Amino acid sequence: MFPTGFVWGAATSAYQIEGALTADGRGRSIWDTFCSQDGRIVGGDNAETAIDHYNRYRDDVKLMADLGLTAYRFSVSWPRIQPDGSGAYNAKGLDFYKRLVDELLSYGIDPWLTLYHWDLPQALEEAGGWPSRDTSKRFADFAATVHAELGDRVRHWSTVNEPWCSAFLGYASGEHAPGRREPAAALRAAHHLNLAHGLAVQAMRAQNADSQIGGCVNVYPVTPATGSEADQDAARRIDGLQNRFFLDALLKGAYPEDVLADLSHLSDMEFIQDGDLATIAAPLDMLLINYYSRFTVSGAPGGAASAAAAPTDSGSPWIGSEHVGFVNGGRPVTSMGWEVDGSGLYEMLRRIADEYPRVPLYISENGAAYDDLIGEDGTVHDPERVSYIDAHLRICHSAIESGIPLQGYFAWSLMDNFEWAWGYGKRFGLVYVDYETQARTMKSSALWYADTIRHGGLLSRAQ
């Protein structure tokens, strides 16, 4: 049994589900541009319709109520609310989120709002994008406006979802929008995403001390493939870029010295200005943790190829450590090629609770893609997903028992959706979506999750 008050949620993001990219005055985002370029998205997919949540949000909220969710984590689309990323706001865009939130509240579902899940207004990219410091300031203004408009009905706020992905997949490997391959720019982007987080926290705090505000990081435990010096150095480097660059900044107010040294050939770091780190480390009410898998790495020359390679032609996101190989650790994998390893979740929770004490923790994303099929009887049987979530929830339970301040869990994702460069080929949902008809069908994992929530804990071990 989980403690009373444990948050049982599911998560989505605007660009992956809404569609309606030109409706009601929405501006253009970097992902609209990226999807229109050849070779960027598997199968040439795009998010013009996605799963039509913009028009079907009432039915989708009803599904959440049927599942018994106590909370729903979603993001707002910046270009829907502020089409050019600066200047005029679009009342119709804001109204959509007000209607969505009111619908959630009418079922007693707590809205958890993420301000940025990767859909930067295209106009801001044209002005320099995240490598430009001004984008952080634009984001703080945007955060203040959304918070002023929705702060009366939304209590839980998070700033930037997975800044690692925006910075390093967007500006180093080019696997994500805007598709740039400029390592030095990616480093600036990473700092400005952190700064954007800090400035937004300040702006929201100044308006309402009751809001619960957090940052959101995607963490991976990193294991050296062998005990060799080269492999251990590879693990230190990847852990530094993936985990410590963001955790240390947000929670300790410092960048790790070894990571700055690894990157010193790229920049003199002049973009890190006095006071930035104090801004970034503004006290948080909660830390949102996205967890999927573990990395095993090798630093040997000619090391193994990535175990989770990008779907399209792209460079390395691991700036300064491009030589590191990602090795198959021999565990079962999901259809993303990601290794299933619940013990890594415990490892990261323990480490975060010990190194950065006193911050309440939430798993804000956890889940798995599998090749789900709808049967002739209209059901979707996804035992691997049940077993994945069951195993990770058991880890969450042990973490709580061992004193880690973990207070909630959000499955990724509520529904199948647009999986970025992978298009629609990867299904993460608890709910199956038929992309032709937009029909929603609860998979067996959804029914299992609903039972778990109803019970307040895990029943017998999932098969």
Q: List alpha helices for 253-365, DSSP H.
A: 257-262, 276-280, 342-355
> Closest approach of Cβ 13 to ligand IFM, in Å?
5
Instruction: Return the number of the residue (162 or 341) whose C-beta is nearest ligand IFM.
Output: 162
18, 125, 162, 175: which is the annotated catalytic residue?
Answer: 162
Instruction: Return the number of the residue (165 or 230) whose C-beta is nearest ligand IFM.
Output: 165
Our finding on whether 119 is near ligand IFM (CB under 6 A) is no
Our finding on whether 364 is near ligand IFM (CB under 6 A) is no
The encoded tokens of residue 218 equal: 């995607």
Which residues, 172 to 201, sit near ligand IFM by CB under 6 A? none
Instruction: Return the number of the residue (16 or 316) whose C-beta is nearest ligand IFM.
Output: 16
Instruction: Return the number of the residue (14 or 230) whose C-beta is nearest ligand IFM.
Output: 14
The encoded tokens of residue 264 equal: 């010193």
Annotated active-site residue 162? The verdict is: yes
> Closest approach of Cβ 300 to ligand IFM, in Å?
28
Our finding on whether 365 is near ligand IFM (CB under 6 A) is yes
Which residues, 271 to 300, sit near ligand IFM by CB under 6 A? 290
Annotated active-site residue 365? The verdict is: yes
Q: List alpha helices for 225-300, DSSP H.
A: 229-239, 245-252, 257-262, 276-280
Taking the C-alpha atoms of residue 182 and residue 43, their distance in angstroms, rounded to an integer, is: 26
Q: What does each C-alpha distance from 443 to 70, 141, 389 come to in angstroms?
A: 19, 40, 13
> Closest approach of Cβ 428 to ligand IFM, in Å?
6
18, 103, 365, 419: which is the annotated catalytic residue?
Answer: 365
Which residues, 36 to 55, sit near ligand IFM by CB under 6 A? none
Say how many C-beta atoms besides its own lie within 10 A of residue 220's C-beta. Answer: 21
Instruction: Return the number of the residue (13 or 90) whose C-beta is nearest ligand IFM.
Output: 13
Instruction: Return the number of the residue (117 or 236) whose C-beta is nearest ligand IFM.
Output: 117
SS3 of residue 176 by DSSP: coil
Return the residue of 419, 448, 453, 458 that touches ligand IFM, per CB under 6 A.
419
> Closest approach of Cβ 197 to ligand IFM, in Å?
16
Q: What does each C-alpha distance from 48 to 19, 54, 125, 392, 432 come to in angstroms?
A: 5, 11, 20, 33, 19
Helix axes 91-106, 53-67, angle to 10 degrees: 20
Our finding on whether 366 is near ligand IFM (CB under 6 A) is no
DSSP-derived secondary structure for 317-341: S-TT-TT-EE---S--B-TTSPBP-
Taking the C-alpha atoms of residue 434 and residue 414, their distance in angstroms, rounded to an integer, is: 14
Our finding on whether 13 is near ligand IFM (CB under 6 A) is yes
Quick one: which of 417, 420, 438, 421 has its CA closest to 10?
Answer: 417
Give residues in contact with ligand IFM (CB under 6 A).
13, 16, 162, 290, 365, 412, 419, 428
**Active-site residue set:** 162, 365
